[in-house]
A and B are shown apart, each in its own frame.
Chain A
């Protein structure tokens, strides 16, 4: 009897395992109502993945999804979030590889070359050309969403990084607080003078330089007349002007406290009064700092370094992309249009510290927070973001940080480190 029971149990387990392996789960977005029985619009599930886990962004989308549900009750949007950078890219890579790609993606510009090049993003020219609001979108941002002549993404949040400084620390160091450093020498001088040391240890950074940051080096290189990649997509980190920028940042690094991008994205040294100058990559944090400590508003200034008359900034931008494998392209487009309608764009900068993408709202944008939005608008106008090159992500997250660390830790000179970096990258490409 025991044997019979045991045999039945084992057999049942085997059969259930085989059946579960043979069964297929419903595809993303499939209607749960058989179409022949549906009398109203079929239920549609859209999968939406967004980069970044800031509470402010999360709240914005929760509100937006709830409003969208009222307009389109048959469309349910499932939102997932992942931290920007390596995590969101890995999440998307796994999603696309496993056939569970999202329908709409909110992610930075840096992804466009890799993913559009791999046919993961769907071109949206046809949709945008018929869109009545196309003329109101800032042209420079519309252009930014193009790759190889096709439009893939709609910019919804230009989010430049701003170099900020504390006027009170400048005053303390005997510097003119109203005169923001402009030339590289002025910037270095300010960083060295505002740095504080106790018992040989830096207790307040002159300028906070995360050891894995690449935005500052690329920005300064561009101001100096160079870039990480040239127009043909060739790596140009061994360009003498790029090397010059790296040497300059190394001098700034000597005034910094050890930190990294993960820390600076969530709790920047600048916000802890532990740095006199810093490149803030996460503007909502700066907005939060000023909100929590309003007395600091008059003590924060903005720096736009320049070489000659050339200035610049890191002008990142977040886009909405439609995925190529997604089944519900029309519905995805309706959601993207909704996110970028005039009302939502206005709400996003009034309530959620986002940038502006519409010509008709430029004045409203500046009025919301003239203190912050003026420099933001300037940074967008003079700045640029990631190179639209397939290997930008790999180079900027792996090769360049390593090369910069070799310079910071004095293992190699700037020239040697950057030349070796180029050699290693090209060797890995089989060149």
Chain B
């Protein structure tokens, strides 16, 4: 009898706790549904229409997708985006890791250096881009003035088809370096000191310790940075819009830049939604591939 009552009470308490938990989660889920899921479904819907923000909103089937397949400007923006990802993702993670390892040591002034590297990350991207616009100015910019004073060539940076994208990528690496450094720094604090001591006793050099202890222990953190960094770099827009507006000759236009132009300048919201769907698809694909790779590496370790 007592056992039955106790069991009933236990179930009642558990149900009550479950309801409370869902109530706690409810605001977050409601916000997610309203501001993320619903817009995604709307985007998919509008990708099958000729919606122009005002008058037209007719269902046109797959016409937008067929148009996208023939759109040379979209193809170029896709290639540019992949190029941008390659130029930014690896450097900001690798350099961020190296900086984190350096500033994890008891260096004089390390807090100052950490702050210096992190401050660009909290600066508004638009403000940062305006400053780099002045730095990159081929006539009066600080960068060319410095190069000129050293007798080096002074390229036209943002006006050069070969240099424009690397210049844009550099500003992104400069900005996000601090964030990557901070995340890795936090992860480094969690690596047991004993591992390094044991390695030292065994005669392992600093470099060997870095590759055999630090990197494997940082794997979950690096995986997180790769996944979030991939999503972020695929969605680059502000720097491109301010520094080059996609030029010269569309060598810096990216997928999101094209989506923005088609939607808000060309009255082609339906087509812009099509490009958005494709962007979501590729971002999910690459993220899934990252997860698969990470699982494979974990399995190898096991």
In the complex where A97-B54, A260-B159 touch, is A402 in contact with B261 (Cβ < 8 A)? no
**B:18-61 near A, CB below 8 Å:** 20, 23-24, 26-27, 30-31, 34, 52-55
**A:228-269 near B, CB below 8 Å:** 257-260, 263, 269
Q: B139 near A94 (CB under 8 angstroms)? A: no
A71 within 8 A of B: no
Complex Cα spacing A21 to B67, Å: 37
Q: A10 near B27 (CB under 8 angstroms)? A: yes
Complex Cα spacing A409 to B161, Å: 9
Kindly specify which of B106-114, B116-124, B195-203, B264-272 makes contact with the partner chain.
Answer: B264-272
**B:67-82 near A, CB below 8 Å:** 67, 70-73
Which residues of the other chain, A, contact B250 by a CB distance below 8 angstroms? 402
Q: B54 near A17 (CB under 8 angstroms)? A: no
Interface of A, secondary structure class, is helix
A211 within 8 A of B: yes
B245 within 8 A of A: yes
**A:70-105 near B, CB below 8 Å:** 86, 89-90, 93-94, 96-97
B249 within 8 A of A: yes
A11 within 8 A of B: yes
Complex Cα spacing A408 to B156, Å: 14
B248 within 8 A of A: yes
Q: A86 near B245 (CB under 8 angstroms)? A: yes
Give the number of residue pairs across the A-B interface with Cβ within 8 Å.
92
Chain A residue at minimum C-beta to C-beta distance from B17: A3
B16 within 8 A of A: yes
**Most A C-beta atoms less than 10 A away, residue of B27, B31, B71, B137:** B27
Complex Cα spacing A397 to B262, Å: 12
Q: B26 near A14 (CB under 8 angstroms)? A: yes
A137 within 8 A of B: no
B166 within 8 A of A: no
Complex Cα spacing A41 to B57, Å: 41
Closest chain B CB from A140 CB (angstroms): 30
Interface residues on chain A, size class: 35 or more
**A:364-402 near B, CB below 8 Å:** 393-394, 397-398, 401-402
Q: A257 near B54 (CB under 8 angstroms)? A: no
In the complex where A14-B30, A118-B54 touch, is A212 in contact with B247 (Cβ < 8 A)? yes
Report which of A260, A406, A427 forms a contact with B249, defined as CB distance below 8 A: A406
Q: A411 near B265 (CB under 8 angstroms)? A: no
A341 within 8 A of B: no
Q: B248 near A211 (CB under 8 angstroms)? A: yes
Q: B20 near A258 (CB under 8 angstroms)? A: no
Report which of B30, B70, B261 forms a contact with A398, defined as CB distance below 8 A: B261
Q: B265 near A90 (CB under 8 angstroms)? A: yes
Closest chain A CB from B148 CB (angstroms): 9
Which residues of the other chain, A, contact B261 by a CB distance below 8 angstroms? 398
**Most A C-beta atoms less than 10 A away, residue of B27, B72, B154, B249:** B249
A93-B267, A94-B264 given; 17 more Cβ-contact pairs under 8 Å: A3-B20, A6-B20, A13-B27, A14-B30, A17-B31, A21-B34, A90-B264, A93-B264, A96-B53, A96-B54, A97-B53, A260-B159, A272-B140, A398-B266, A405-B247, A409-B161, A427-B70
* 27 A-B pairs in the complex with CB atoms less than 8 angstroms apart: A3-B20, A6-B20, A7-B23, A10-B26, A11-B23, A14-B26, A90-B264, A93-B53, A93-B264, A97-B53, A118-B267, A211-B248, A257-B139, A258-B156, A258-B159, A259-B139, A260-B159, A260-B247, A274-B139, A394-B265, A394-B266, A398-B265, A401-B247, A405-B248, A405-B249, A411-B249, A430-B67
Residues of A within 8 A of B (CB): 3, 6-7, 10-11, 13-14, 17, 21, 86, 89-90, 93-94, 96-97, 114, 118-120, 201, 211-212, 257-260, 263, 269, 272, 274, 393-394, 397-398, 401-402, 405-406, 409, 411, 424, 427-428, 430
Residues of B within 8 A of A (CB): 16-17, 20, 23-24, 26-27, 30-31, 34, 52-55, 67, 70-73, 137-140, 154, 156, 159, 161, 245, 247-250, 261, 264-267
